């Protein structure tokens, strides 16, 4: 019976299980539970109220993207509306390396389409720490379509533009080029980058985990295309000048060559040609020599092309008249212990004949009648020693030393183009004072509406016309450049042949040049030509550069439909080389 009663005793009433707990422990437990609920509630309030914007942005990062809408770069035209530069649609192929899932065959095919080595492609895709990497920029649309058909997860494309230059190397130094970001790097593309580039737009989209756009949220900013530009360049004249320079460099085995054509009335640059050059559409193997815009960046001693300015100043100061006789015998002149000379004896020459025969002695005697300050101020008014203001990168100032440091022999040599340096563009512009009756014309690389522009008077019209007649004699049968003549047109100009300097000493290397204008009765174009280091046996400007001038000027006048001002007679040239004093 006792055993039965014990069997009916409740389990919880067992004395061994009776544990007396302090009251504060249960209270502490309840407090902790309540505190936990309060913390959870505070966290919920913090996340849903105070951190809502942050959390929303974090969520959008995982599915929403802002896609840039590229703006089309403005076109560049010549003065007649011929397209010189335009933007064509292209694609940029990029990858999210952590998402790429492709077979070896697909990767090999992708590398071939993008023109990459498989090792380079694999190296870029192996960087799993990056979520974005460009594989190839400015891919042609048809190639991009073939890439898309591979359907490789993680390989994406975005729209962009590729610059195209229809005239290629002919106008490369004028137009320049852009980089893969469509930013100007050279030429007009650099000088007017802000005008041409425009403003890109953007839009918001939702992408899936493979990067595919599944919903277009909407545009946030519309793209604004760049503005178009019209240059002063005439593509026909540019082509003619470019071919003439290239063929002259090849014929005379010159190191380089350059030419510039200027409209006398408006100051517009109709052509600017250089050789060597480059193709802006294919720039894989560019060199510094190819990129140099020699018309603007290269300076040289102008040689005898400076003599007309010395004669002009002598006339302007009243020191000489065109018929004033100067004794040049015995063909040598010693100044300050240094002797200068002519290539041959000329005897008595008038001022006009000094320019026609290119006499160093005659020019030096004119210069010795002047004050150094007068010469320096005249050179400064002509723009020498100052960079041309044409809004174009790379234009240099040349060098004319301050007159206070001139020695008598330096004043003499500068009068016929030694001891100072100029660019071909500066020299061509300075000759506008003879073509425009004493006015120096402002230059422009961009089309000028309205025709003739006002110049700055540097010499009187009477002096300008007198020197113009001298320059016509210099380019005639009795001058140093009969090869500058053009059938049907009267031409005026002056040759230049100057030794080059290396390490401060003159060497037997030459710069051959010619600057002139036509037609003399009503000058319309100024043409300047320079050949650097002709090495085929001829180097005088009258033999090397004058024929290039004649070709460019004649073709340009006909292309511009400028009527002849002389009989269409065959020009007879002497068989022997025409020499000039250097």
Q: For 466-573, where are the E strands, in sequence order?
A: 492-502, 505-518, 525-532
| Measured distance CA(434)–CA(436) in Å, rounded | 6
CB environment 317-337: b (16+ within 10 A), e (fewer) = eeebebeeebebeebebebee
Q: Under a CB-based contact definition with an 8 Å cutoff, are residues 270 and 233 in contact?
A: yes
Residues 368 and 337 sit within 8 Å (Cβ to Cβ): no
Q: Which residues contact 422 (CB under 8 A, 6 or more apart)?
A: 299, 300, 302, 384, 398, 430
Q: In what order do the strands lie in the sheet with 269-275?
A: 269-275, 256-263, 525-532, 505-518, 492-502
Query: What 3-state DSSP class applies to 483?
Result: helix
**CB contact at 8 A, 75 and 86:** yes
Candidates 304, 444, 556, 581; catalytic one: 304
DSSP H or E run through 384: none
Q: How far apart are CA 232 and CA 64, in angstroms?
A: 48
Q: H helices within 368-407, ranges in order?
A: 372-381
Specify whether 232 is catalytic: no
> Which token pair is 100?
């790429």
DSSP-derived 3-state class of residue 83: strand
* Angle at alpha carbon of residue 98, lines to 97 and 101, rounded to 5°: 80
Looking up tokens 């061509």 gives 428
Secondary structure in 3-state letters for 404-450: HHCCHHHHHHHHCCCCCEEEHHHHHHHCHHHHCCCEECCCECECCCC
Among candidates 288, 323, 327, 309, which has minimal Cα distance to 370? Answer: 309
- How many Å apart are CA 331 and CA 364, to the nearest integer? 12
List, by residue number, the catalytic residues.
Answer: 304
């Amino acid at each position: 019976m006792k055993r039965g009663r014990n069997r009916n005793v409740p389990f919880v009433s067992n004395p061994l299980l009776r544990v007396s707990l302090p009251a504060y422990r249960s209270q502490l437990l309840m407090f902790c539970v309540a505190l936990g609920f309060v913390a959870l509630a505070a966290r919920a309030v913090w996340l849903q109220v105070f951190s809502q914007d942050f959390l929303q942005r974090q969520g959008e990062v995982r599915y929403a993207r802002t896609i840039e809408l590229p703006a089309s770069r403005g076109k560049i035209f010549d003065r007649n509306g011929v397209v010189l530069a335009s933007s064509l649609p292209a694609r940029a192929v990029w990858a999210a390396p952590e998402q790429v899932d492709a077979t070896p065959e697909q990767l090999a095919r992708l590398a071939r389409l993008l023109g990459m080595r498989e090792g380079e492609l694999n190296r870029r895709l192996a960087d799993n720490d990056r979520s974005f990497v460009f594989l190839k920029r400015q891919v042609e649309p048809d190639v991009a379509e073939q890439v898309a058909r591979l359907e490789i997860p993680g390989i994406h494309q975005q729209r962009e533009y590729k610059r195209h230059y229809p005239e290629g190397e002919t106008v490369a130094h004028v137009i320049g080029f852009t980089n893969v970001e469509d930013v100007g790097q050279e030429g007009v593309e650099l000088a007017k980058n802000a005008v041409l580039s425009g403003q890109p737009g953007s839009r918001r989209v939702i992408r899936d985990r493979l990067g595919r756009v599944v919903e277009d949220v909407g545009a946030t900013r519309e793209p604004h295309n760049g503005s178009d530009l019209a240059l002063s360049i005439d593509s026909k004249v540019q082509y003619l000048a470019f071919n003439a320079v290239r063929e002259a460099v090849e014929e005379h085995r010159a190191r380089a060559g350059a030419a510039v054509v200027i409209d006398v009335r408006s100051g517009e640059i109709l052509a600017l040609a250089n050789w060597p050059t480059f193709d802006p559409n294919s720039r894989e193997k560019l060199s510094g020599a190819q990129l140099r815009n020699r018309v603007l960046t290269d300076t040289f001693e102008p040689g005898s092309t400076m003599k007309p300015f010395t004669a002009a100043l002598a006339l302007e100061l009243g020191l000489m008249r065109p018929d004033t006789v100067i004794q040049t015998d015995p063909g040598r002149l010693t100044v300050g212990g240094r002797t200068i000379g002519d290539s041959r004896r000329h005897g008595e020459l008038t001022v006009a004949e000094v320019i026609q025969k290119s006499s160093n002695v005659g020019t030096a005697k004119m210069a010795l009648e002047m004050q150094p300050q007068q010469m320096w101020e005249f050179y400064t008014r002509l723009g020498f020693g100052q960079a041309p203001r044409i809004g174009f990168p790379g234009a240099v100032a040349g060098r004319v030393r301050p007159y206070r440091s001139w020695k008598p022999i330096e004043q003499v040599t500068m009068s016929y183009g030694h001891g100072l340096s100029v660019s071909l563009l500066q020299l061509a512009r300075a000759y506008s004072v003879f073509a425009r009756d004493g006015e120096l014309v402002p230059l422009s690389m961009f089309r000028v509406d309205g025709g003739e522009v006002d110049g700055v008077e540097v010499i009187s019209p009477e002096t300008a016309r007198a020197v113009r007649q001298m320059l016509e004699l210099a380019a005639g049968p009795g001058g140093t450049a009969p090869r500058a003549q053009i059938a049907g047109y009267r031409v005026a100009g002056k040759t230049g042949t100057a030794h080059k300097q290396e390490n401060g000493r003159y060497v037997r290397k030459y710069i051959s040049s010619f600057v002139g204008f036509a037609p003399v009765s009503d000058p319309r174009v100024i043409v300047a030509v320079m050949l650097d280091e002709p090495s085929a046996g001829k180097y005088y400007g009258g033999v090397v550069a004058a024929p290039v001038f004649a070709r460019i000027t004649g073709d340009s006048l006909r292309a511009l439909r400028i009527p002849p001002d002389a009989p269409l007679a065959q020009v007879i040239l002497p068989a022997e080389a025409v020499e000039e004093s250097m």
